[in-house]
Amino acid sequence: MQCDYFDRGVCRSCTLMGQPYADQVLDKEIRTRELLHDAVEAAGGPGAVEWLPAITSPESGYRNKAKMVVAGTVQRPTVGILDHRQRGVDLRHCGICTPGIQRALPVLADFVADAGLIPYDVAARRGELKFVLVTESPDGELMVRFVLRSEGQLPRLREHLGALRRVLPQAVVVTANLLPEHKAVTEGEREVVLTEQETLPMRLDRVTMHLRPQSFFQTNTAVAAQLYDQASAWIDEVAPASMWDLYCGVGGFALHAARPGRAVTGIETSREAVRSAKQSAREAGLSDLRFAADDATEHAVRARPDALPELVLVNPPRRGIGETLARWLEDSAIEHVVYSSCNPVTLAKDLARMPSLRLRRARLLDMFPQTGHLEVVTLLSRH
């Protein structure tokens, strides 16, 4: 992939830009294999690990969510990032974003000017509009979120909402997120939904998930679908009568793994994500699937021994599942674990803490082309 922003040196976020894509994937796979090999060696021997061929992605146009800093002036806003002097760098034509987002960003930049929304000046700590967050569904619909410093410009947003929907009819969900604090985060706790529709349907083959404004969804839709399919295939081979999906988000793994007669429980700290997951399960008629808002580790350590599932799936953030949950899994009677990780370093640490759960299968998924990030899904079994 070629990127003018990268070539001009104005954005270096994609650290592997310009490197042949096949080399990117190979380097990621070698690094991941080495990390996991060392971890299982330290735990008492590698055993027979089956590495499936890496799942690749389109090199460009793959990112279904854009987190754009708004800077500049009302008349000439920028949407993109900040440079080292905290000045706006416009990236409205960023090539890793989906085509629908690429078409939407110039429209949204014009809307900021037309509606008179005041970009936030980080250095001066003045202004109102901090970010524009855009997510595209597989059907081409958009969720657009304006992150504001205060409620001061909410009336302007409401007044111009109709104009925005006319020039950007794909924007079926539009919200204002309030972030009054001056700190390095992308969004605040309070969300004001401005449209009648509150969720963005994410349709992947046979499963439809509902994405609410503050819910997490995998960044690469095409690769996410293959990730869910791979995990479900391994789960079906094991054929557990019961399973937990810890750190379940909007329920992607749980919804794909649900089968008649299989009791599936999804656990997630975000109440908004749990609301979305419950809605998806209800619409799909999945009566054996339940979701609850809880901490994954606390849910596990509180569970009665006679209430444990036959399989546990974990999909933690970059920090991994950590020592407490890893030790609990090691000491439990659970036979199988499917571990999906976006950070092979913390995955390796967690595997070393669970020597009784041997790594049997692994597969790399290139969720983030042009960057050093990746996803790897593994199957662990006691025997």
Catalytic residue list = 342
Contact at 8 Å (CB) between 195 and 158? Answer: no
Structure tokens at 360: 């049997």
Greatest C-alpha distance within the chain: 65
Calpha distance 336→366 (Å, rounded)? 25
Residues 6+ away with beta carbon under 8 Å from 344: 31, 32, 35, 36, 374, 376
Q: How many CA atoms lie within 13 A of 42 on its CB side?
A: 13
140's CB contacts (< 8 A; 6+ apart) are 100, 170
How far does Cα 170 stand from its chain's mean position?
21
Distance, CA of 298 to CA of 113 (rounded, Å): 47
* CA-derived radius of gyration, the chain: 22
The answer to whether residues 71 and 82 touch, using CB atoms and an 8 Å cutoff, is yes
Burial of 308 (0-12, 13-18, 19+ CB in 10 A): middle
* H or E segment and range at residue 298: helix 296-302
3-class DSSP state of 370: coil
Spatial separation of the C-alpha atoms in residues 238 and 152, rounded to whole Å: 55
